[in-house]
Each structure stands twice: as structure tokens, then as C-alpha cells.
């Protein structure tokens, strides 16, 4: 059996790669691995995003969990970080989120959290995969009679989650006009309630999910509509979430993008000034812009890099006791408040910084000068996964181009952890060189993967 878990849970095309049969096994395996045997039935929470396939996969997970003798609690449509938070708050044994995050609607995914609200380490994922690979997932006879689990609908999930996020800040000292793009996803159920609690003049867009329009020309992967709305309606700032609202990007009042690196810079500087940036350190991945590293150096903030994936950022933060980390894509982890990336928590922190200053959002954006950066994706076959990292010609090319670029730029070439793609990214102080560099790298990768 091929490896199921990628960098962010199990993901694939719903009903083709991520089937009901597989979801039933996942439900059984989670109940087996992440719960303690005892007199009380184990308790597992399930949340979902707005994809048409989420109901189907939810039902299959319910079946697997209940047939294992565990109790399933339905949170309904909620953000991924809500599942992480509520798993710990409700003293559940595990939490499961059904979502493919920023992917288009035909994809779906299953993300799993332990009882403390953290994503699973590799060794636990491996145990779950080993059980799923067996003909019979359960290690003991299946329960019968009143030992079978049941499904309970949780009515307090949204109110409890939004209350917790709102309480991470005080009421904003000045009332801002904020446009919120919910990506027709999970934030559609929470954003309006959350920002009303904080007395924000909020305009909600892309908040009418129909099962197939999640991330469709909206949200953090498509900022065009948000840019137009902010400029046409004189908003102070615009906020965009992805499908499951675990990431957040923004646009300033002029419509210019504030990506994860910019938001990290703003938040890190603010936390350091207040004495709340633990060890004066910011954790990011190798994809973060070289400009962020220079910004940190100028502001006496230490810079710690990890592999791509918010799970690796979190691992570093937990190991070293850091309080802020994240990715350029908009996954930010405020470890003093949350166990995982939380788009709405990030938005609240960013808006709070803006509201407590006399600055415009564009003034905050201009705190950091970014290097020009461009990237492209190369589609690969499943049979080609892992080949690029082992190819001598590709590795020699990366070494040679790295030496040639020196301090003026860099290349990052890696395989996606969530899709069958090779991602190539270049940074260079001369933007005119980026297209030429990408074209050359693309040709080398494609020729050597034939």
C-alpha cells in the first residue's frame, strides 16, 4: 500500500483516491490508535468544510468510529483550527477534519488531531497506516449490542470557537472597515459572528457555499475579487481565508497583497516590542522570502528555518519554546493561543495591530522589502513521486545555480506534499531574470524525469 499521509493529512480526489471504504478504515484506525481503553467509550470529534463530498466522507468516518465502539460527535461545518481547539476543550480522544484546504472542490482530505489538539507525529501516522493496510483494522472482535458507538450533534462548536478567538484581543480602539473573503468554505459559518463580537465594520464576500464553489476564484488563492472590493469600498484592509480557514492572507487599502511573510514580520515585530516573542525568535520554512530574513536581522529577531509544512514549523516551536511561526502561504501559528495554524486568529491579531496604531495597512506592508519571487508547478505522474530528489543531474543543477546566484538570489525545488507536482521557486534581486531561470529549471526537471 502506498503512503497515505502527506504533509497535511490524507488527501486525494474524493470517491476515487479518497473513498468511503478508506474513510471507514481511517475511522476505525483512529479509534484504535488514539483512544484509551477503559470503562467509558472513546470520544472523537468530526468537523468538515463545504465540499460536496464532505457529507459522504463524514458518514463513512462515523461508520468506522461507531463500529469500533467509539462515540462520534459532529461539529458540522467549522474551520480546521476549531476542531483542534475543541478536541482539547471538550476532552475528546481525537479530532478529525474533513477538508482539502486550498484545493479545488473535487479533492478532499482527512486531517487528524490528538487529544491535545496537535497534528499527529510521523510515528502515530505510521501506526494508523499499518492498521489500514490490514484486512481487519480492529485488533479485537467488533463490539455488538450497546457497545456500538453512536453519533451526537454538537450545538456549541461555533459559539465556543469564535468566543475563544475573540478573547485573544481586547476590543479594538478604532473601528475599522474590513472586507472578509470566506472562500465559500468553513469561515462562512464563523467569520460574521467572530468579527461582530469585536465591533468591526465587516463586509463578508464569497460566503455562499454550494458544494462546488469552495476556493473557486475566491479566498486566499485568488485575491482578485477582494482587491477590487477593498479599493471600490474604501476598506481599511481585506482578509482572505482558504477553504478550511487555517490560513490567512490580506490586502492593504490599495489592494496590494500582504502574504504570510509580511504578516509574520508585522506580528513578530509587534510581539518583540511587547516582550512576548519568546526567545526573540521567528520560525519559518525554507519558502519564506529572503526579505523576511533581512527584516528579522534589522529588528534583532532571530530566524529559524524548517522544511515546508506547518507541522515542521510547529515541531520546531514546541522543541525550542518559540511562540510565533508560519509559512508564506498564510499558515501562522500563535502558540500562546493555538496548537495549529488558524486563519481567523491570525486575522484578529493583524487587525488588532492596525487598530492600535495610527498607520494604514500599506504602512505595515512596507515594513518589509521583499525580494522578487516567482514559482511554477510541474505536474508529475504518481509513479514519478520521489524521483526528482534522487536524480543526480537535477541535484547537480541545484548546486551549480545556488553557487552562481550567491547572495543575489536562490532556488527552492521540492515535491509537493499534497499534490502530484514538483514546485520550483526562484528569488532574485533582479526581477527580469526570474522567467529565464524558471524556464531553464523546468526544462532540466522535465528532461530528467522522462
Q: Which three cell numbers stand for residue 276?
A: 512576548
Strand order in the sheet with 281-285: 302-306, 281-285, 324-326, 332-334
Nearest to 332 by CA among 392, 264, 410: 264
Please check whether residue 427 is in contact with residue 419, taking contact to mean a CB–CB distance below 8 angstroms.
no
C-alpha to C-alpha distance for 413 and 426, rounded to whole angstroms? 9
Alpha-helical regions (H) of 275-340: 290-298, 310-320
Strand order in the sheet with 237-241: 201-205, 177-181, 237-241, 248-251, 257-258
Q: Which three cell numbers stand for residue 404?
A: 552562481
Alpha-helical regions (H) of 169-259: 191-197, 224-232
Paired strand residues for 152? 73
Q: Which residue has the cell 512596507?
A: 366
Strand order in the sheet with 5-6: 5-6, 9-13, 107-113, 94-98, 43-48, 71-77, 151-153
Q: Is the four-CA dihedral 306, 168, 154, 35 of positive or negative sign? A: positive
Nearest to 300 by CA among 321, 281, 323: 281
Nearest to 53 by CA among 107, 5, 17: 107
If you ran DSSP here, which 8-state letter would residue 14 be given?
B
Active site (annotated) includes residue 101: yes
Q: Cα–Cα distances in Å, from 54 out to 51, 80, 109, 371?
A: 5, 13, 9, 39
Q: Which of 54, 68, 101, 329 is catalytic?
A: 101
CB half-sphere exposure, 57, CA atoms < 13 A: 34
Q: Which residue has the cell 477593498?
A: 230
Nearest to 190 by CA among 53, 86, 62, 56: 86
Neighbours of 363 (CB within 10 A): 13
Kindly list the catalytic residues. 101
Amino acid at each position: 500500500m502506498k503512503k497515505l499521509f502527506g504533509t497535511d493529512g490524507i488527501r486525494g480526489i474524493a470517491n476515487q483516491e479518497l473513498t468511503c471504504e478508506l474513510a471507514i478504515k481511517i475511522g476505525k484506525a483512529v479509534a484504535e490508535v488514539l483512544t484509551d481503553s477503559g470503562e467509558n467509550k472513546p470520544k472523537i470529534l468530526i468537523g468538515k468544510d463545504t465540499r460536496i463530498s464532505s457529507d459522504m466522507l463524514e458518514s463513512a468516518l462515523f461508520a468506522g468510529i461507531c463500529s469500533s465502539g467509539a462515540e462520534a460527535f459532529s461539529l458540522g461545518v467549522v474551520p480546521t483550527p476549531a476542531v483542534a481547539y475543541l478536541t482539547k476543550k471538550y476532552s475528546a480522544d481525537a479530532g478529525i477534519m474533513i477538508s482539502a484546504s486550498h484545493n479545488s472542490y473535487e479533492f478532499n482530505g482527512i486531517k487528524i488531531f490528538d487529544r491535545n489538539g496537535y497534528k499527529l507525529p510521523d510515528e502515530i501516522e505510521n501506526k494508523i497506516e499499518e492498521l489500514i493496510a490490514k484486512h481487519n483494522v480492529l485488533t479485537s472482535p467488533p463490539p455488538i449490542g450497546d457497545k456500538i458507538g453512536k453519533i451526537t450533534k454538537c450545538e456549541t462548536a461555533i459559539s465556543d470557537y469564535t468566543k475563544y478567538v475573540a478573547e485573544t484581543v481586547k476590543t479594538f480602539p478604532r473601528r475599522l472597515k474590513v472586507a472578509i473573503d470566506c472562500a465559500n468554505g468553513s469561515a462562512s459559518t464563523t467569520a460574521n459572528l467572530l468579527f461582530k463580537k469585536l465591533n468591526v465594520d465587516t463586509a463578508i464576500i464569497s460566503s455562499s457555499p454550494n458544494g462546488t464553489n469552495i476556493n473557486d476564484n475566491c479566498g486566499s488563492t485568488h485575491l482578485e475579487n477582494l482587491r477590487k472590493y477593498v479599493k471600490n469600498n474604501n476598506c481599511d484592509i481585506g482578509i482572505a481565508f482558504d477553504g478550511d480557514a487555517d490560513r490567512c492572507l490580506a490586502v492593504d487599502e490599495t489592494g496590494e497583497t500582504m502574504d504570510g511573510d509580511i504578516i509574520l514580520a508585522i506580528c513578530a515585530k509587534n510581539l518583540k516590542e511587547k516582550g512576548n516573542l519568546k526567545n526573540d525568535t521567528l520560525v519559518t520554512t525554507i519558502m519564506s522570502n529572503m526579505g523576511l530574513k533581512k527584516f528579522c536581522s534589522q529588528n534583532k529577531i532571530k530566524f529559524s528555518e524548517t522544511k515546508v509544512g506547518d507541522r515542521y514549523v510547529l515541531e520546531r516551536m514546541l522543541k525550542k519554546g518559540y511562540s510565533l511561526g508560519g509559512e508564506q502561504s498564510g499558515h501562522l501559528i500563535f502558540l500562546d493561543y493555538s496548537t495549529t495554524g488558524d486563519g481567523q486568529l491570525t486575522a484578529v491579531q493583524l487587525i488588532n495591530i492596525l487598530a492600535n496604531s495610527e498607520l494604514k495597512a500599506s504602512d505595515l506592508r512596507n515594513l518589509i522589502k521583499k525580494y522578487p519571487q516567482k514559482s511554477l508547478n510541474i505536474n508529475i505522474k504518481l509513479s514519478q513521486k520521489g524521483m526528482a530528489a534522487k536524480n543526480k543531474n537535477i541535484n547537480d543543477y541545484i548546486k551549480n545555480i545556488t553557487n552562481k546566484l550567491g547572495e543575489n538570489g536562490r532556488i527552492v525545488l521540492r515535491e509537493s506534499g499534497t499534490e502530484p507536482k514538483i514546485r520550483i521557486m526562484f528569488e532574485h534581486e533582479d526581477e527580469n531574470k526570474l522567467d529565464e531561470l524558471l524556464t531553464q529549471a523546468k526544462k532540466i526537471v522535465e528532461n530528467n524525469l522522462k
